[in-house]
Structure 1
């Protein structure tokens, strides 16, 4: 699992470093965590979208968990869209979107929520790179009880020849609900041809109070669009990275953090203080140079109401977990990821609110660090006898079969992961296992009915590479297949910190019944003061921040 990083370890290599099991102390109740202190306003010019506010946040429990106001079951809904699938350049091709009733025959329906008498107002946002927008690409639609919504029309015009993808997303407040995609082929001297109706399940119309989504999209011109979605819907802000892309800067950052992790604890107090100051300066510089001014201003306007932040879109643009919000006299409570639950979403990922952990399997191939078995033993003890044990897996074929057949519950990796410019690779007993081995599961949606939790506790297991028109890595592949949540790392991490993170995370999620967002936040906080070690910022979490583990016959306490 290449947790520990020595001076000789480099990205893309593995080592046989040993480590000792680190038992975490009991994490105190969340007396702060989710709700940041009030900060001063960023100014009167809010830059809000003309549609304005989308309702109220509703009550929040003392531990920061939002209370979803609509809890009565109701009829299912679907997000539907119609778009021509072929047209010549210069042709107007309107996109028509509607929220309809009925479960349909696609997707996995989850619990529905009552639509209040006054209706549920949703934001429909469209991303259409390569096409010319003839109007706003964001509109509101009201879903009333017992009937379909009105049809919302978005004006688009074809320009450059080629195959273009149009993505439609639905939000309520800052909570992402669902998305669907359609493709249009633009060719000269071809007649326009209508495409089939596209649909996706709206698994719930409820929203999580205080959840904010930062949607980051990359346009065909290389510029990025940043948009903060909360109760207030802000207009997108276009932002172009000076270097064209962030790959080089990102790799320099990860290399520095790898060296910092290797040296952590080896020097005296002055060295540790310098490491912490350097890390903070890195986070402040990222905040100032990689986030548009308008988005930073909007963040401060919302800061005292935010309980979780979801980043949707281009994850490789910025290492989001490293951001340290600081603007003149405005400062939060440290790094964004130690202040708030920060989670990510990939395109095509379902919104899963329950993680059924009725069984567990553990991937520990030959050559894994000896202490990996100790990690698995501790996890088995944490889960208890109520969770069926599917054993320790060492062969690629067995892991692949389990995933293709719809792995359920928990799949925990404790192993080495080699990451190079060619991507990730785990050496199993019967050969190499890499993200391409998940292609069938991703396309078939093999995990969409089981929604397992995937914890990949290995070196840079959240790394991704470009693969034609998409990104390739463990996280996007597992999530496209239907995983409920994924946890991995961005750079090589220290063994003692990594083990404490895992133990604290499972303690919070399983034993104490906290949400995915809160459990990951508590795990970060448990290891953030370990001799300048930046491991606590290396972990990335994909999923719904409000998701909770569901155990069979388990008495899970949520009390503080």
Structure 2
């Protein structure tokens, strides 16, 4: 059997059940899909229904134009299509919708069973001898509760079966690859959870072996993370089944092989890389461990582990309340602005002291003048790392320093997503709803239009969903800028909304099917709206705008954690783009733009979260 991701196709269009027949037919006519997935939300439950394009059109073309799709198709009377996690094993003999990180990314169908492969993109160092390699891991597809099995991880020269996910990516000879195995659910690692592979060495094909024990029945969650110089270049996710142990149960089932291309290494290495991985203690409390790596070898930091740090309360609710407090700070006078600034500084100290182990606090304080670029790779969706405020001891007194995003040229990234060291802004799409009512939206639009020239195109896109879908589907824009209102909706971040004209909305879940073509150019995406940068747990994993744009292929994402001030947000855009287009790396450009708007007196300068490699630049 193969994974659902390998067997799935992505030539589908996603329709919402509450959309009208007229609107849905317009979408179908605008695209080239061969399948239709209809999403129906009932309470907090998501349901998906898979049709061929012809099936959907046959129903819709005979229905009243304004009737909702879910009524035409009688969805409440029919059983929803099965859903599969992207990593689940399947034969592909039964139609199903494939979900990854809470959004539909494909479908499997016995009559359209094409195999897929995804290649992580990256940079390539000059002058190095490059070798083609492929990361493989094998482990039983199932094992009995209480039994042990060996996970084998190795490099291979082989492409794999024809059509399979075996398109290799090159690595320099002599590259040292660090491997960490994490058991997140159903299993535990016994013994050392890490190892090392050296590309091109005589024993590079000898597999690393890790012993795991099944401790909880159900679907397991096992991660194999591969680093080079602190950056994640491979991220395998295995989901073996742990079954109750009968009296004569064999120790392990049929072994299944997993494969993934390795991302190419980056041209430059950040001064400090932090990799954050979620964990849970024996009582079920969530938290994380962190691995620190430094480019300065004298610091002896290469995936040095710290933690775990456990949350004392539910983190999603805590940070939602935290953002509401920031939004509620009074700022009408100079005195109120000073008090608000002090409040933020105090909250930043609180975050730093509670989110970082004491050894890491001391280390970061001692290095604050030695490091410039900080790269945080974190799968957890909640923590605003930008707001942590450095503190330490100076001459026997506790002293406060700067916020992370103020002290360092810092960015974030999602592990397992290919890092793009080169960005482009040759064709920028601008979406500014006329109905937003924001005083500075017209000025922001005019500023963005003024960036055209010298081979650069800037095109306004009407703030209507059909127009956005058509533009996303072409995959021809390498920059997207949205200015307007955004809103978090309920607990599922994939239902967060961008507010468009004519009371229409765009949600992260709709960056699926043909719309996901927006990522073909690895665009820089800047959503200059409130509550856009927030993440949270969706159906299967961390969700929200950043996750879904990056999953679609975006090379960078900039958004705001909380409601920002229109005037200050406009000036942030004015400060940021000239720096990016002038050749500054993303981390430095964002830091300088933050500091330029800091005197405005409101918290907008701290609100932005940036997902990109800190040393990525706009290529000319």
Q: Residues 68 and 207 of structure 1 are in contact (CA less than 8 Å); yes or no, is this contact kept in structure 2?
A: no
Give the alignment partner of residue 260 of structure 2, picking from 178, 185, 199.
Answer: 199
Q: Deviations over 1:55-95 (max 9, x none)?
A: xxxxxxxxxxxx99765362343332222222221222222
> Structure 1 residue 402: deviation in Å?
3.1
Give the alignment partner of residue 309 of structure 2, picking from 218, 221, 239.
Answer: 239
> Structure 1 residue 163: deviation in Å?
1.1
SS at match of 2:420: coil
Q: Do the aligned partners of residues 70 and 175 (structure 1) sit closer, same or farther apart at CA in structure 2, a change above 3 Å counting?
A: farther
Partner of 1:471: 542
Partner of 1:45: none
Aligned-partner Cα distance in 1 for 2:211–2:410: 34
Q: Do the aligned partners of residues 451 and 507 (structure 1) sit closer, same or farther apart at CA in structure 2, a change above 3 Å counting?
A: same
Q: Residues 124 and 169 of structure 1 are in contact (CA less than 8 Å); yes or no, is this contact kept in structure 2?
A: yes
> Structure 1 residue 502: deviation in Å?
1.2
SS at match of 1:343: strand
Q: Residues 453 and 485 of structure 1 are in contact (CA less than 8 Å); yes or no, is this contact kept in structure 2?
A: yes
Q: Residues 236 and 258 of structure 2 are in contact (CA less than 8 Å); yes or no, is this contact kept in structure 1?
A: no
Give the alignment partner of residue 324 of structure 1, picking from 381, 384, 389.
Answer: 389
Partner of 1:372: 441
Partner of 2:586: 516
Partner of 2:553: 482
Q: Residues 134 and 156 of structure 1 are in contact (CA less than 8 Å); yes or no, is this contact kept in structure 2?
A: yes
Q: Deviations over 1:213-235 (max 9, x none)?
A: 24131337333232232131312
In the alignment, does 2:429 pair up with 1:356? Answer: no
Partner of 2:286: 223
TM-score (normalised: structure 2) = 0.70
Q: Residues 111 and 204 of structure 1 are in contact (CA less than 8 Å); yes or no, is this contact kept in structure 2?
A: no
For 1:114-513, list aligned pairs within 5 A.
114-115=172-173, 119-130=174-185, 131-144=187-200, 148-188=204-244, 189=246, 192-204=253-265, 208-219=269-280, 221-231=284-294, 232-233=301-302, 234-243=304-313, 245-260=314-329, 263-264=330-331, 266-268=332-334, 270-300=335-365, 302-329=367-394, 333-368=401-436, 369=438, 371-422=440-491, 423-429=495-501, 431-440=504-513, 446=517, 449-510=520-581, 512-513=582-583
Aligned-partner Cα distance in 2 for 1:111–1:549: 23
Partner of 2:600: 530
What is the aligned length? 473
Instruction: Structure 2: give runs of 5+ residues left out of the alignment.
Output: 1-122, 295-300
Q: Do the aligned partners of residues 86 and 110 (structure 1) sit closer, same or farther apart at CA in structure 2, a change above 3 Å counting?
A: closer
Aligned-partner Cα distance in 2 for 1:206–1:140: 22
> Structure 1 residue 258: deviation in Å?
0.9
Aligned-partner Cα distance in 1 for 2:280–2:521: 34
SS at match of 1:202: coil
SS at match of 2:148: coil
Which has the higher mean CA deviation after the structures are superposed, 454-463 or 140-149? 140-149
Larger gyration radius, structure 1 or structure 2: 2
Aligned-partner Cα distance in 1 for 2:501–2:409: 37
Q: Do the aligned partners of residues 298 and 106 (structure 1) sit closer, same or farther apart at CA in structure 2, a change above 3 Å counting?
A: farther
In the alignment, does 2:134 pair up with 1:74? Answer: no
Q: Deviations over 1:82-128 (max 9, x none)?
A: 2222222122222222234477777898995643xxx2222212221
Aligned-partner Cα distance in 1 for 2:168–2:327: 41
Instruction: Structure 1: give runs of 5+ residues left out of the alignment.
Output: 1-66, 552-560
Q: Residues 125 and 267 of structure 2 are in contact (CA less than 8 Å); yes or no, is this contact kept in structure 1?
A: yes
Aligned-partner Cα distance in 2 for 1:364–1:110: 41
For 1:42-53, list aligned pairs within 5 A.
none
Aligned-partner Cα distance in 1 for 2:346–2:196: 40
Q: Residues 179 and 224 of structure 2 are in contact (CA less than 8 Å); yes or no, is this contact kept in structure 1?
A: yes
- Structure with higher strand content: 2
SS at match of 2:591: helix
> Structure 1 residue 340: deviation in Å?
0.5
Q: Deviations over 1:398-445 (max 9, x none)?
A: 322333443530011112112232541123346321111124369xx6
> Structure 1 residue 306: deviation in Å?
2.6
> Structure 1 residue 450: deviation in Å?
1.9
Q: Deviations over 1:467-516 (max 9, x none)?
A: 22213211111111111111000000111211111121111111x20111
Q: Do the aligned partners of residues 496 and 478 (structure 1) sit closer, same or farther apart at CA in structure 2, a change above 3 Å counting?
A: same
> Structure 1 residue 338: deviation in Å?
0.4
> Structure 1 residue 460: deviation in Å?
0.8
Which has the higher mean CA deviation after the structures are superposed, 143-152 or 211-220? 143-152
RMSD of equivalent CA atoms: 2.9
Q: Residues 79 and 199 of structure 1 are in contact (CA less than 8 Å); yes or no, is this contact kept in structure 2?
A: yes
TM-score (normalised: structure 1) = 0.77
Aligned-partner Cα distance in 1 for 2:164–2:407: 38
SS at match of 1:514: coil
SS at match of 2:598: coil
Q: Do the aligned partners of residues 102 and 478 (structure 1) sit closer, same or farther apart at CA in structure 2, a change above 3 Å counting?
A: farther
